[in-house]
Amino acid sequence: MIDKVKINSPVTLLDVARISGVSPSTVSRILNSTAKVSDIKRQAVEAAIAELKFEPNQLAQSLKSGKSMTIGIVVQDIASPFFSEALRGVDDVLNAQQYASVIVSGHWNAQEEADRIRLLIARKIDGLILLSGHIADEDVVRFSEQRPIVATGRNVSSNTVKSVKIDNEFGAILAMRHLIELGHRHIAFIAGPKNNPDANERLSGYCRALEEANLPFEEKLIIEGDLHEASGLLAINRLFESQQKFSAVFAVNDQTAYGARLSLYRKGVRVPDDISVIGFDDLPNSLYTTPPLTTVRQPLYEMGQAAATTLINIINGKPTDITLPPLDLVVRETTRRLR
């Protein structure tokens, strides 16, 4: 069939129509997913597209549909493995739906996040995904009046904004129950920044688990960090300097746990023989730490998938139903029963 198309000439929609035996308008509607045609016609068009290696003019399609087929994504730290996993889920869904993405970083600064959102909206994106952040919920709703938004780590919902959120408090309770069942009674908690909602919810879970077990709350066993490895290392140093008694450490996230583990190693403290360590996230690297990290798995990849799928459904006027796998305790080799 290809010999009916001039050699070295660009393949056009007319060529696809002629080869598949349908009208050009039918090919156009199939490409734009606006045609209800028989399976035989659709298969003929798809076969012609494959045979001719036809690539639709995305700009022309965008002008006709009023869509840019581009999604804006605001992360807080592009280098973070946490955001990398969520972005992988977003990217897989967008690629399957033939959307492109523009990724910017807010650097945990509300003003910078707002500026980046305005920049993305000015670039005529079809929708926006916010992966965490400090911008106020009311500002998220206000921006969603210009473009639909899906945000993670929030409890905000309207016709134009949806939330994808896990139960951080329950996840922290899972971690604490595991340590308490192993006999630990003095458990240090390396917290996150006070203005981070996820970190605050995990602190609430820590406190609630102590209360459930009738264990005293020891304020000096809580050290604030910043969710990065260095703060975990510094937190352990501060705990040892204060001479507080503890047999286990619950880190607010895996990256903090990595730093805590390094500090304990440098002090000659054996994990888990002397002190148990547990994290939160189950990042890919947690399987390969020495020893492999016990942690609470949150479905980061699936969260990204859910965010992207929900946003595309909103854009296309389809119903949205956000379902995430439950949090799960992943027991590896950094926790053991207290002797």
- Is residue 184 located within the same domain as residue 276? yes
- Token pair 């996040």: residue: 113
Q: Are residues 179 and 273 in the same domain?
A: yes
Residue type, 267: K
Q: Would you state the structure tokens that stand for residue 333, as one six-digit string?
A: 């080799």
CA-to-CA distance for 192 and 255, rounded, in angstroms? 11
What total number of domains does the chain contain?
3
CA proximity to 294, closest of 207, 176, 144: 176
CATH number at residue 191: 3.40.50.2300
Q: Kindly state whether residues 191 and 277 are assigned to the same domain.
A: yes
How far apart, in Å, are the Cα atoms of 303 and each of 8, 27, 104, 149, 170? 45, 35, 18, 15, 17
User: d(Cα 40, Cα 269) in Å, to the nearest integer?
Assistant: 69
Amino acid 314: pLDDT? 93
On average, the pLDDT of the chain sits at: 89
Model confidence pLDDT, tens digit, residues 288-300: 999 999 999 999 9
Nearest one of 210, 213, 205, 268 to 236, comparing CA atoms = 268
d(CA 294, CA 26): 56
- Domain end, chosen from 29, 49, 64, is at 64
Where the chain has pLDDT below 70, the residues are 1-10, 13, 25, 28-29, 31-36, 55-66
Q: Tell me, what amino acid is at 212? A: E
Closest CA to 64 of 30, 28, 18: 28
Q: Are residues 278 and 192 in the same domain?
A: yes
How far is Cα 108 from Cα 121, in angstroms, rounded to an integer? 20
339 within domain boundaries: no
Q: Which of 39, 64, 89 is the last residue of a domain?
A: 64
What distances in angstroms separate CA 335 from CA 2, 241, 277, one per listed residue? 64, 23, 6
CATH code at position 25: 1.10.260.40
Three-state DSSP state, 22:
coil
Give the up-direction half-sphere exposure of residue 132: CA atoms within 13 A in the CB hemisphere.
Answer: 22
For 218-273, the pLDDT digits (tens) are 999 999 999 999 999 999 999 999 999 999 999 999 999 999 999 999 999 999 99
Give the residue numbers spanning the domain of 50.
2-64
Residue 273 class from Cβ within 10 Å (0-12 exposed, 13-18 middle, 19+ buried)? exposed
| Residues 49, 295: Cα–Cα separation, whole Å | 48
The answer on 222 and 76 residing in a single domain is no
Within-domain flag for 330 = no
Specify the pLDDT at position 152: 92
Count of other CB atoms within 10 angstroms of residue 321: 9
Q: What is the pLDDT of residue 2?
A: 46
Per-residue pLDDT at 116: 93
